[in-house]
Amino acid sequence: MASAPQKILAIKEDQVFEITWDETRVSRYPFKFLRCECPCAACVNEFTGEKMLDPATVSDEIEPNEVGFSGNYAIKIKWSDGHFTGLYSWDYLDKLTANPSVVTTSGASQ
């Protein structure tokens, strides 16, 4: 089970979320990648796990309008396309670090 991150930044100039997990690991998630990986029932079939969201329908200019916490286990993002129902748990975000779209480095950013 992934621990809560120490810091979460939405860096609009770079179009990424930067998540500092701890003093040894920082991950950068491109906005479009994270929007396309939304785990909500509108984007992923609850019964089959099939992705319902076509990535071609997501703008390259997608960005978060609001970011908030859902308890102490996830973030909720309101995207510029109006979508807001996905909860990105710490475990889910940690799992996504295996994807080549996510760049993970050692050491916290300054």
Query: Per residue in 39-59, pLDDT tens?
Result: 999 999 999 999 999 999 999
The pLDDT of residue 108 is above 60: no
Cβ neighbour number for residue 47 with a 10 Å cutoff: 7
pLDDT band of 110, cuts 50, 70, 90? very low
Domains of the chain plus CATH, in order, are: 7-99 (3.30.2020.30)
Q: Once rounded to an integer, what is the mean pLDDT over residues 23-52? A: 97
Q: Report d(CA 51, CA 89) in Å as an integer.
A: 18
Model pTM? 0.92
